[in-house]
Amino acid sequence: MPKHYFFLIFSITSLSLHSQTASLKVQKMVNRAKDSLNVGSIEASFKLLNSAEKLAPKNKEIQFEKAYVYYVDTQYDKSIEILKNLLEVDSTLNENYYVLLGNSYDLNHESDSAVYVYKKGISKFPNSGRLRYENGVVAYGMQQYNKAVLSWEEGVKKDPMYADNYYMLAKTMNFTQEKIWVLLYGELFMNLEQNTERTSEISKLLFETYRANLIKSKNNKRGFYLTKSLAENSNQTFEAYFNQLLNEGITEEVPQRKVTIQDLYILQNEFLKRWYTTNNPKFDFVLLNYQKELQENGLLEAYTYWLLSEGNFEEFDAWMSNPINSKKMENLSKYVIVHPLQVKPENSITRKDFIH
């Protein structure tokens, strides 16, 4: 081999190895910067990112991380400046850039700009549940409650496995007369996000929703009144139909005292039997199909106790102290790991799907 070819190959190889080494060094710096930020050391994070930027001044990840550190440090103007420049150069960056820019505008008290950014992001990423969630949060903060709910429900339809939209819908519907949707959105949320503080919060909300809405009506008939449709004697709506079947399973002694988790398990067991006996395809619902699946596998009781555990923890704890019941819960845990609730765009459900 001619000597000059050898040196050319050697130079190219050396250059490639040097480039790889520099790239690894930059990535280590970025990772250390993230670790520093996680333990609250903003100054150390900035120093590492600035050093990394000198080695790779065009690296977008470094710029994004700097914008995020500014965001955490409440220097929203600086975060906005970096992100705007990045998106002006490359509008195809992932949705996180739009989320962070929109959030920075929102916390900088520029809500209209935040909404503009989220909508621009949605136009680039039409299936993003996160962007619709953030858009709804800003709308809610502007007291545009209908817009907020609409945004979250669109998020459910486009990205039905993204939990945050269900969380906000459950909490927001609690301020309306449609308590059924507190129960349904809340239960969907708990299946998608488990073992968090928000899960405990929604578990309490579900239980209290049942307790607070078991009342005696003017005609002396006891039952759950979870929808305004029932008060209007409209049995044609999904909500009224749901509520009607639920009330058909109430025994006389239940309304005389506070509702227990065991009462609600028995009620749900009977409700599912009635729901699927009527076989009304117009009201097909993925969540109820999943409950039916659990019922058929002997897991509905454990599921109900898990679902409502934080609402009446003493009852849950007493139930779990029985070895038979703890085994039921163990079986449920094993089952849902292999067979979790799967919601797809084609079978996701919001209130609008039942408006005819």
Tell me, what's the pLDDT at 162? 97
**Tens of pLDDT, residues 184-207:** 999 999 999 999 999 999 999 999
Confidence tier at 46 by pLDDT (50, 70, 90): confident
The candidate with the shortest Cα–Cα distance to 91, out of 57, 123, 45, is 123
Average pLDDT of the chain to the nearest whole number: 87
Average pLDDT over residues 249-256: 66
Average pLDDT over residues 287-305: 97
Confidence tier at 17 by pLDDT (50, 70, 90): very low
Confidence tier at 254 by pLDDT (50, 70, 90): low
- The values of phi and psi at residue 232, to 5°, are -90, 5
More confident residue, 262 or 214: 262
SS3 of 182-241: the string is HHHHHHHHHHHCCCCHHHHHHHHHHHHHHHHCEEECCCCCEEECCCHHHHCCCCCCHHHH
Tell me, what's the pLDDT at 20? 52
Q: What is the dihedral of CA 323, 328, 331, 332, to 10 degrees?
A: -140
pLDDT at 262 over 80: yes
The type of residue at 7 is F
**Tens of pLDDT, residues 52-90:** 888 888 888 888 889 989 999 999 999 999 999 999 988
Tell me, what's the pLDDT at 105? 97
More confident residue, 279 or 104: 104
**Domain map of the chain by residue range?**
179-356
Tell me, what's the pLDDT at 233? 54
**Tens of pLDDT, residues 159-188:** 999 999 999 999 999 999 999 999 999 999
Average pLDDT over residues 235-247: 84
Residues 6+ apart with CB under 8 A from 68: 37, 79, 100
More confident residue, 345 or 252: 345
Tell me, what's the pLDDT at 281? 55
Whole-angstrom Cα distance, residue 301 to residue 295?
Answer: 8
Tell me, what's the pLDDT at 320? 98
pLDDT at 346 over 50: yes
**Tens of pLDDT, residues 302-329:** 999 999 999 999 999 999 999 999 999 9
Tell me, what's the pLDDT at 31? 84
pTM for the predicted model, two decimal places: 0.88
- The values of phi and psi at residue 215, to 5°, are -135, 170
Proportion of the chain above pLDDT 90, given as a percent? 59
pLDDT at 288 over 80: yes
Q: Which residues pair with 224 in a beta bridge?
A: 214
Confidence tier at 10 by pLDDT (50, 70, 90): very low
More confident residue, 16 or 248: 248
Tell me, what's the pLDDT at 13? 46
